[in-house]
Amino acid sequence: MDSLRHELARFIQSPAARHDPPRLYRRLLTEAPVLDLGRVTVVSGYDEIVTVLMHPGTVVDPAAVGIARPGTSRLAEVVARMLPLRDGADHSRLKRLATAAFSARRLDAIRGRITDTAERLLEPLLAAGSFDMVADFAVPLPVAVSCAILDIPEHDRHRVTGWAALVARSLLDPHAGPEETAAFDAEFEEFRDYVEELCARRAADPGDDLISKLTVARAAGKIDSDDLLAFVVMLLANGLETLTSGLAVAVWHSLTTPGALDLVRDRPETAEAVFDECQRLGSPVRASARALTGDVPVAGTVLPAGTVTLLLYAAANRDPRRFPDPDRFDPARAERRHLAFGHGPHHCLGAPLSLMAGGAVLRLLAAAGAERTVSTPLTEETAPWSEQFVFGGLRSLPILSPRRAVDPAPVAAPPPYGPGSGPGGRETVGAGAGAR
């Protein structure tokens, strides 16, 4: 067991030790779904994680067990008030305010805008013949999705993208020095002023967007200004990290799994299921931490009050007790309730939105495969995975999208197949969209 503890500790601390995550996950699930590392207990089994998440003594705020949150900037203070970092009745109260913005009716209303935006971003990239799926597409699309939820004018999206990146940097580097903290705060004040301008406009002319609803709630005394700002920050930050990682992971698995995009092209209604299965296999959010304010019995042991547990969602999503043949790509699985979007009270509010956006992207890529050979030159060995522990996406995902060669129309009796072509005159292609 000591060797497993050593391997897991290195996996958490060192990006170089994460070259083959599924192998470690299999070992954890077989030997120790609950493993004490001394300072923290790591829980990797599906049922075990659900037990921890649903226990009344489990909270997200580390201050509940005497651990201070990192970061001293004004932005860090607002981040600490985001919905995913609140507990109990406070969390329930705030979640009710946001739920309407993610209702089926609201999502249906913006579905067309999301698809149009994805198509507008993707078409010139595909036409260029090569691009980076992460930087050129998976970063700007989530910001556009968040802007649709907030009804932010399109001409402001470039500025908003910069502020979203600021929030993301702050989240990923909470231990910034004094100079960087001051720079964060100065730029964040510009963002705060912008949000207040939007609130003033929505107060005068309210709509069906989230900012309008939050402005009304603030006027009624249900939330304060920092709560309102934290909602906007949450949408931008969560979208930029989780959906960016989720899109990159989904495209990677779709391109490297034979037949995945063919399925979407032949049956477009399966796109969301394919995206969802990619989230299970790729787990863009690899893990999450919880503080324990009470003893939590799990798997024959007791996690003691006053400690912190690390929930390894990526391992649980490959737990064979929950998902038979867990390493196999199977969008038609009978059991699809994975943990890529969390579970319980903190299940991701934006999960339906992510599935909608992800499905739209896969349909567009699959359709492009009819005219282009869409592929990536990366392999498992060369894929540049994120060096962050929590977010398990790709730093970069180069895409090649040359147009398929078309044989010229024959002027005389042609041979059975054109030169260099497969049966029926179609070029034979490798993995990627359009491979048959």
* pLDDT tens digits, 331-385: 999 888 999 999 998 888 888 889 999 999 999 999 999 999 999 999 988 999 9
Which residues are CB-neighbours of 382 under 8 A, at least 6 positions away? Answer: none
Residue pair 350/239 in contact by the 8 Å Cβ criterion: yes
DSSP three-state, residue 120: helix
Residue pair 109/124 in contact by the 8 Å Cβ criterion: no
At 304 the pLDDT is 94
**Region 23-52 average pLDDT:** 95
At 323 the pLDDT is 96
Helices marked H in 136-222 — which ranges? 140-150, 157-172, 178-204, 210-219
pTM for the predicted model, two decimal places:
0.86
Which of 39-53, 136-150, 320-334, 388-402 is predicted least confidently?
136-150
Is the pLDDT assigned to residue 68 strictly greater than 90?
A: no
266 or 405, which is more confident = 266
Task: Estimate to the nearest angstrom the gap between the alpha carbon of 198 and the chain centroid.
Answer: 27
340 or 86, which is more confident = 340
Give the alpha-carbon dihedral of 42, 68, 347, 25, to 10 degrees. -20
Domains of the chain, start order = 2-425 (1.10.630.10)
At 138 the pLDDT is 93
- Per the rule left: phi > 0, alpha: psi between -120 and 50, beta: everything else, 391 is beta
At 250 the pLDDT is 96
At 44 the pLDDT is 97
Q: How far is CA 206 from CA 192, 202, 230, in A?
A: 19, 4, 20
* pLDDT tens digits, 167-187: 777 666 666 677 777 877 888
Q: Tell me, what DSSP letter sits at residue 207?
A: -
Share of the chain above pLDDT 90, in %: 50
| Calpha distance 149→51 (Å, rounded) | 33
**Region 286-309 average pLDDT:** 94
Q: Take residue 259 and report the two structure tokens written for it.
A: 């037949």
Is the pLDDT assigned to residue 89 strictly greater than 90?
A: no
Phi, psi of 92 (to 5 degrees): -60, -40
**Region 127-138 average pLDDT:** 96
| Calpha distance 252→312 (Å, rounded) | 21
Which of 85-94, 144-153, 418-427 is predicted least confidently?
418-427
Residue pair 9/43 in contact by the 8 Å Cβ criterion: no
- Which of the four pLDDT bands, split at 50, 70 and 90, describes residue 26? very high
Helices marked H in 257-411 — which ranges? 260-266, 271-282, 313-316, 351-368
240 or 282, which is more confident = 282
- Which of the four pLDDT bands, split at 50, 70 and 90, describes residue 211? confident
β-bridge mates for residue 374, sequence order: 433
At 79 the pLDDT is 78
